Structures are given as structure tokens and as C-alpha cells.
Structure 1
Amino acid sequence: MSSSRFSPALQASDLNDFIAPSQDCIVSLNKNSAASRLPIKKKQVVVSTKPPEESVKISLKDCLACSGCITSAETVMLEKQSLDDFVTRINSGKTVIVSVSPQSRASLAAFFGLSQSQVFRKLTALFKSMGVKAVYDTSSSRDLALIEACNEFISRYKLSQLSSDKEVGTSLPVLSSACPGWICYAEKTLGSYILPYISSVKSPQQVIGAAIKHHMVEKLGLKPYDVYHVTVMPCYDKKLEAVRGDFVFSVEEKEVTEVDSVLTTGEVLDLIQSKSVDFKTMEESPLDRLLTNVDDGGHLYGVSGGSGGYAETIFRYAARALFNREIEGPLDFKILRNSDFREVTLEVEGRPVLKFALCYGFRNLQNIVRKVKMGKCEYQFIEVMACPSGCLNGGGQIKPAKGQSPKDLIQQLEGVYMQDVSVSNPFDNPIAKRLYDDWLVQPGSDNAKRYLHTQYHPVVKSVTSQLQNW
């Protein structure tokens, strides 16, 4: 797997602790011995100590939390996030559940010339023919994440108005947290000065993982460790997100991961093409409604916005909750230095009271970070995505057809994305309402914070790693 498939933020030169394979691992994995130098050459890396049976494996999780070596996405253990492992888990008798992102559906729809609804039903049929128990929709978990993000923004906005000294953790702007490339970059490079500004709400991938492993398993009569949960995502960075230690818990002394594996859109296309079926003409299956945004008539619904609609949803909610302004029609996002940096403003009596921004791509991201660090950021909320053009342009998406430019493909994906999907308000989602009633209580509750929120950890560079990077 080439590191170029990851987002630009994860290819930055100062994130070389898992980008460019060259140097040796200098971190001791055995507390009782000196550090062993470990050549980073193979996908599975083993450090041998004496006696041999005490050998230790380095996992992707270890490398994400470490600043002591230079490895590569290609050299780290990603064999647990592959098509082969997916098929093996199904054949092993595990209860496999798949959650599909709307961005991946759009990419497949554009490739096959189908609608999102057709793609979703055909994917459901394909996965179930292989032995998958249920296929869900991360649009449902995105609505939960948006509700929590709206509640969080209002709380932090009000606290910032009361705080004269801009207390850490309550000050604005709020920076969105759905992009794992941005989060990893912030933790490894920006450190403690930027992390308090990042929203604590989990991404839709991890929200649906929490819903399935902490709550839905009971309705299915299963134990969390009996379920193998796979997501289909537009982004390789999501593989990194899934292995974060914050998203692992224990049940009956067994380690359980909210999301066990991530397949990219391109990998699912490989799966489809490996089957002796014509995907365009294959039969469709009814959608699993338990965690899927589909109404009684079988129509999909969700928010607009190919990267989750965070800025738009929170802006509308804040305008109503804080200033009693109901915004009708599309928001007027103004393009600034480029199409990946846009802003929208709410004025009350001629005075700007809310100012939000969309910030996509590493170059724009660096400019925003610089302003936040200097205390000169004029925005209250920023939707941050590491990839130019956002999630529809994720590194795991299907590549442009021969003769098609990347720009043309993005325009095609933007057209397909909401083609047969009704725009809806997350607060009206019956799935979200049911999950709050049965499990979470209400937005911002203790249960919601326990299961739908997370925390971030600055990675401190060791002296040794800094010397090695000279």
C-alpha cells in the first residue's frame, strides 16, 4: 500500500514516523531490555528477544502512538484491514456487520452509472450473499454525530461569551473532528496548543461502531466480541482511526474494537470485480432499516455536504438557537483564496454574529492553524478536511476513468451524492430519536459523552527520534 493513498496531512514531511520507510525502530518493546534496532522492511514486524518465545509484534496502533522511528503505511500491519481478512472472518462463523459511507456509495454509483439507492441495495445483496448478517448506513451515525456537535458548539459558544480569559477547552473556534488525517496530524505535529479547540465528537465511523458494539448487539442477542464490524470508507486514513486505543474496550476480559476493519471504496470495487456477477444487473436486496437512513417508502435521506455537512448543519442550528434566525434555502458560502476555503456569515442588525468556514486541503489547513495559534482566527467553527475537495476526493475512492480529469470526477460525484437522497434535519431522524430514548438519554448527556465523544493525545517527540530526523 503506497503512502500516497493517505491524506496530504499524513504525507507531510514532519509526519515521517509512518511515511517514509528507511530507518530502524529504536523504541524498546521490552521493558527489561535495551532497545533493539528493528529494520522496517516487512508488513509484519517482529522484534526478537531472548528467549525467542518472548518476541513482540509492532502493530499499527503502536506506530501511531510512537515518534521514535520512520516506518511506512506499507510496512505496518494492515493485514487485518484487508479483503482477505474480511472473507476469512465471514467464513470463520463470526457475525459480520458492514456499515457503508454515503461517499463510498457515490463513488460506486458514478463508476457503474447507477443511483446511490441502487448501489446500496446491490451492495446489500452482494454482502449478504457472502454471509454478512446486516448492512447499515453511516448517514444514520452521522446524524447522531451532528446532533452532538450542535449541542457541543452551543455549549462552547456560551462558555466563550462568559469567559474573559479564553479558558483552554472552552474557547472558540471549534474545529471539526471527523477527519482522521487531520486529527493524526494535529496530535503528532501541532500538539497541545491546538487539540483543545478540536470537537470531542467522534466521527460517524466511530459513532456507528459505538452504537453497534455497545448497544445494538443486545438487540441482536449477541456479545460485542462475537461481532466483526467492517466499514466501507472513502479514505485510507480511516484505517488508522479504527485502531486508536480510545476506541477499544473490554468485555469479560476480552478486547473489543468498535470498528474491526475498514475497507476503502476501491477495495470494495476489487471485491465486486472478483465475483462472477454483473453488478449493474444483479438483483437488489431490501435495506436493513435498524441503522439505515431509509424511510417507509424505501427512499434514502440525510444531510447535504460531501464531507458530512458539519458547518452547514451547525450554522443553521446555532442561528436558530442563539439568534432566533431561521435560515431558508442554501447557505451563501463565499469562496476566498480558493474553492477549498469558503466562509459563511450570519448578520443580525447589520452586525456579523456568526462566521463559519470550510477548510479543505493541507495548505489551507496550515493557514488556519497559524491563525488559531496567533489568536487571530475570526471563525467560530471550521469544518476541517485534510483532502482537497473533502471526503468525496478521499484517497480510497475509485480513480478517474481514462480521459477523465480529477476535477471532472469530483463534479460528477457532487452531482451523484444527493441525486436520489432527500435532505433531512438530523434532529428529525427517527433512528437518532430511538437511540437517545433507549440508550443515550439526550444530547450531551453522560451516556452521550461516554459513547459518542473522545479525547486527543499530543505525541511528544523523543530526543532520539529528533536526532535521527536530522
Structure 2
Amino acid sequence: MPNSASLINIDAELCTGCRRCAAVCPVDAILGEPGRPQTIDDHRCVVCGQCVQICTAYAPASRSGDDDHVHKRLQRGQLSSVREPLFAAYSTGQVLKVKRALADPKLYKVVQCAPAIRVSLAEEFGLPMGTLTPGKMASALRRLNFDRIYDTNFGADVTIMEEGSELIGRVLSAERLPMFTSCCPAWVKYAETEAPELLEHLSSCKSPMQMVGALVKTYGAKLEGVDPANIYSVAVMPCTCKEFECSREEMEVNGHREVDVVITTRELAQLIKDAGIDFVNLPDEPFDSPLGKYSGAGSIFGVTGGVMEAAIRTGYELITKEKIPSLQLDFIRGEEGVRTAAVQVGKLELKVAVVAGLKYVGGILKQVQEGTCPYHFIEVMACPEGCVSGGGQPKLLLETLRKQAYQARKSSVYRHDHQQQVRKSHENPAIIKLYEDFLGEPLGHVSHNLLHTAFHSRKRTASHSHSNVKED
């Protein structure tokens, strides 16, 4: 299994011991005395990057040209052209690998972008918070020399087809309930570490990112007439844990990594600036077909409650064979914390819960362990307001600005959903064609092999209980 030790770090030379990172860590993985450099319990860390978002200790600007500063940038995997401060808490970047790959003519370079990227990337170029820029983003990626611009939103639609069908099967058979979502890798790592006895309650679905990765090197490769061995698959994510996810041993198809590398929103912005691309004045361009076509339901995965809302839109119609009365499910939408609801789906009263912020999941896990959990379906997102507040998103130092950004990004996501002609995953023509031409049916033999996985216990043994604490 992959080691997350090098992904989230605290630079002991820069850390002031303010412990703001410890206060925001949802799993108490940051250790240390006030006023002294902090360390990370790598085993407990879920790589969510909230410590990276909140850290305000940084190297003085006067040091920006010295050899130590240059060495630190290289050590952190940053481009030499980056001008932002070196903060004590940081995530190790992969953008140098991507820049090298983009210059390699032998590689067929494919990229996918998560739903939350298009509502946050523009902030890195001085545009108002929440500015929606899917067209400029696709345009910039083409100018960076990607051969195909696909979309994780397409994978979100596939996830709904698979996960929705899985949920219906479990509810009708009353087996392995409640069912938890499995698209957040930080939540999955937490479940594997802290509650492995409950892993059967997680959906077996891979995340939308990994689904797109698997389809790129099978379905997409066949359509394009490209050897999967020559495909270099890049994912742009708002999440620092996605690099950990793509490196998991099981995330491969026919001997190839499904996703070769992940970069964050901030790293994409750095790559665009490094290439001298004028992002603000780019024309709007489309994503490539077919793995770039998505529904409104796919786009709302970027906010807390979005997976649940998308699943209900499709699940309702699959069960009742009737149109859902309303596509805007306000009772699902909200902010940090736990939200619960009962949804009437035909004769079934579906009881659901949405957990926004990993620190809130403990109570529900205890109920599941005790056999008293009343819910059928539970969405868990590690970050406080879903992916729009991910650890790889544009960094804002003031709490008030962060809250403003989260709200603006969420509003933009919902606006994007509302603008789509197709707003339900099962009505996406590209999804219908995918199943007709390649997958067959949800939960069928092909989709089971490509799009589903199993999770494994990471519970710490006594002999390893003190061996995973690191400092930079």
C-alpha cells in the first residue's frame, strides 16, 4: 500500500508552533508543544490538507533568492517560477513531473478536472471568488499541450449509475446498510485506519477520478486508437489526498495505473503562469467527447451534499419509474456538520445523512457499530464544505475570506448545475452510449472489473504504534 508520509509536511525550520494546524486537523494527527515545531503522525493523517490551508507561518521574503529557498521549492516539488511564500505546512507537489511529461512527444497526454476546479481556478488570476471558468480552463489545458481534455464530472455521472444501482440493491435486500459513499479518499483512509470492521458498509465504487482514469485507458484508448501504455493520465483535483488515492496498489487497469499523477488547483494555476498563458483573456473552448460530457448532477459533486443529491435524482427515477418532482433538493444542501433527511421514494422512505467535515463522523460510526444507525445512505466528505474547501484549493489566509470563497464557490457550482440542459446522470447521452457500447449495465461484469474496488484495514498494530511520526 502507498505511503502518505511525503505528501503532507511541516517544515520545522519555519513552524512557529502556533498550533492552528492542530486545531483544524480532523483526526488529531498533528503533535507538538505550543511554540515549538509540530510533527505529523503519518499513520493517523488522512492527507486532507486542511493544515496546509490554514498555515500562516512562512519564510521571510528577503530569503526568496537564497540557495536554501530554491532548495526548499525543489524539495516541495514546486516550479522555480512560483512566487507565493513558502509556508511551514505544505503538500508535496507533482507539477514538475507533469511539466516534463507535457514536453514529451512520445506520450499521449490526457487530463481530467474535478467539479470544484472550474469554480476556484480563476481566483488565482485575480478574478472574483467563485467565477465559473470551464471554457477558459479547457482552453488553457490545450495550450499546455494536453492531447485530450476530459472531465471528472463525466466520472461523477458514471459513479451515480453504479453507486445508485448498488444502493438500490442493498436497500431492497436490506443488506450491508447503511451504505457510505466512497468518493472521498481522505474519508476512505480514515475508515480503513479507525473503523476497518465497518468497511463492508462503504460503496465498492471507485471515485469519479479513478473511474475516468480506468475508462481513459480502456474505452477512451479504443476510441482514439491509442496504446494505453502510451497514455499519460493527469488529474487536476482540489484535494491533496488524491495523489495518495491514485497511487493505491489496486488502482490499475490491465497492468497500467489508472491515473498516473494528480496536481492540485494551485499547481494548475502555477503551470499556466509558468507557460506564460494569459488565462483571463482566453476564449472559451469545450471539453473533448465523450469523456468530457456531463450532467448538472455530475457538476454538484464538488459541494457537500452533492453526491447525495445527484444519487437521489437518479435513484428516485430508477425505483419509481417516474420523474422526480423537483431537481433542487434544498434539504440536502448546507454547510459543515451533519444533516439528515427522510426522502419519500415511491413506497420507500429513504433515510439519509450528509457529513461535512471528518470530525463529525464519529457519532454515526458508533451507531453503525452498535447496530442502531437509522440511515440507509450516508455521504461523508472530509473537508468542511466538501471539495470546494479542499486542501489543494487556492489558499486564503483570513478566515472571513475563506468563508466568502466557500460560499461563492458553492453558489457557482449550483448555478452551473442549473445551466445544464441535462441535470440527471442517467439522462446524459454520453453515459447512455458508454453503457450501450462498452459497459453493458451498471454492476455488470465489465463495470465491476473496471469501476469497483475493495478497501483494506490499515489499523495500527502495537509494534507500529510509535513508528509513524515524522517532521520535515
Fold similarity call, TM over 0.5: yes
Distance in 2 of aligned mates of 1:430 and 1:115: 32
Amino acid at match of 2:184: C
Moved more, 413-422 or 212-221: 413-422
* Cα distance change on mapping 1:243 and 1:346 into 2, 3 Å: same
8 Å contact kept, 1:110–1:416 = no
Match of 2:165 in 1: 151
Q: Secondary structure at the match of 1:419?
A: helix
8 Å contact kept, 1:174–1:382 = yes
Over the matched positions of the two proteins, sequence identity in percent amounts to 29
Distance in 1 of aligned mates of 2:223 and 2:440: 17
Amino acid at match of 1:353: E
Superposed, 1:340-419 pairs within 5 Å as 340-347=337-344, 353-400=349-396, 404-419=400-415
Q: Output the TM-score relative to the length of structure 1.
A: 0.75
* Cα distance change on mapping 1:335 and 1:390 into 2, 3 Å: closer
Q: Secondary structure at the match of 2:437?
A: helix
Moved more, 173-182 or 120-129: 120-129
Q: Residue deviations 1:8-42, cap 9 Å, x none? A: 4566469923578xxxxxxxxxxxxxxxxxxxxx9
8 Å contact kept, 2:300–2:414 = yes
Match of 2:179 in 1: 174
Match of 2:257 in 1: 257
Distance in 2 of aligned mates of 1:347 and 1:334: 14
* Cα distance change on mapping 1:322 and 1:279 into 2, 3 Å: closer
Q: Secondary structure at the match of 2:465?
A: helix
Q: Say yes or no: does 1:107 pair with 2:106.
A: no
* Cα distance change on mapping 1:119 and 1:305 into 2, 3 Å: same
Match of 1:444 in 2: 443
8 Å contact kept, 1:9–1:181 = no
Q: Residue deviations 1:26-85, cap 9 Å, x none? A: xxxxxxxxxxxxxxxx9999xxxxxxxxxxxxxxxxxxxxxxxxxxx979xx6xx61111
Moved more, 224-233 or 109-118: 109-118
Larger Rg: 1
Distance in 2 of aligned mates of 1:398 and 1:74: 13
Deviation at 1:188, TM superposition (A): 1.7
Q: Secondary structure at the match of 1:304?
A: helix
Distance in 2 of aligned mates of 1:399 and 1:204: 24
Distance in 2 of aligned mates of 1:394 and 1:343: 23
8 Å contact kept, 2:130–2:408 = no
8 Å contact kept, 1:310–1:383 = yes
8 Å contact kept, 2:272–2:279 = yes
Deviation at 1:268, TM superposition (A): 1.0
Amino acid at match of 1:91: A
Deviation at 1:144, TM superposition (A): 0.5
Superposed, 1:32-431 pairs within 5 Å as 82-93=94-105, 94-111=107-124, 112-113=126-127, 119-160=133-174, 170-191=175-196, 193-251=197-255, 256-293=256-293, 302-307=298-303, 309-322=306-319, 326-329=323-326, 330-333=328-331, 339-347=336-344, 353-400=349-396, 404-420=400-416, 421-422=419-420, 424-431=423-430
Q: Secondary structure at the match of 2:342?
A: strand
* Cα distance change on mapping 1:87 and 1:348 into 2, 3 Å: closer
Q: Residue deviations 1:285-339, cap 9 Å, x none? A: 34312211269xxxx8845353372212333444444467754223252799x74
Q: Residue deviations 1:108-157, cap 9 Å, x none? A: 14555379997333232322223210111111111001111110001011
Deviation at 1:213, TM superposition (A): 1.0
* Cα distance change on mapping 1:316 and 1:282 into 2, 3 Å: closer
8 Å contact kept, 2:144–2:272 = no
Distance in 2 of aligned mates of 1:213 and 1:89: 17
Distance in 1 of aligned mates of 2:116 and 2:441: 28
Match of 1:17 in 2: 42
Amino acid at match of 2:388: L
Stretches of structure 1 that go unaligned for 5 or more consecutive residues are 21-41, 46-72, 161-169
Matched length: 399
Question: CA-atom RMSD, angstroms?
Answer: 3.5
Distance in 1 of aligned mates of 2:213 and 2:432: 18
8 Å contact kept, 1:347–1:353 = yes
* Cα distance change on mapping 1:44 and 1:195 into 2, 3 Å: farther
Distance in 2 of aligned mates of 1:348 and 1:95: 45
8 Å contact kept, 2:129–2:405 = no
Deviation at 1:225, TM superposition (A): 1.4
Q: Secondary structure at the match of 2:442?
A: coil
Q: Secondary structure at the match of 1:102?
A: coil
Q: Residue deviations 1:225-273, cap 9 Å, x none? A: 100000011100111100011112445xxxx100000010011111223
Amino acid at match of 2:194: T
Amino acid at match of 2:257: T
Q: Output the TM-score relative to the length of structure 2.
A: 0.75
Q: Say yes or no: does 1:458 pair with 2:460.
A: no
8 Å contact kept, 2:191–2:198 = yes
Deviation at 1:201, TM superposition (A): 0.8
Amino acid at match of 1:103: A
8 Å contact kept, 1:100–1:136 = yes
Distance in 1 of aligned mates of 2:360 and 2:297: 31
8 Å contact kept, 2:193–2:459 = yes
Stretches of structure 2 that go unaligned for 5 or more consecutive residues are 1-6, 11-20, 32-39, 46-71, 76-88
Distance in 2 of aligned mates of 1:265 and 1:197: 31
Distance in 2 of aligned mates of 1:333 and 1:324: 23
Distance in 1 of aligned mates of 2:447 and 2:219: 12
Amino acid at match of 1:427: H
Distance in 1 of aligned mates of 2:397 and 2:211: 33
* Cα distance change on mapping 1:250 and 1:270 into 2, 3 Å: same
* Cα distance change on mapping 1:404 and 1:123 into 2, 3 Å: same
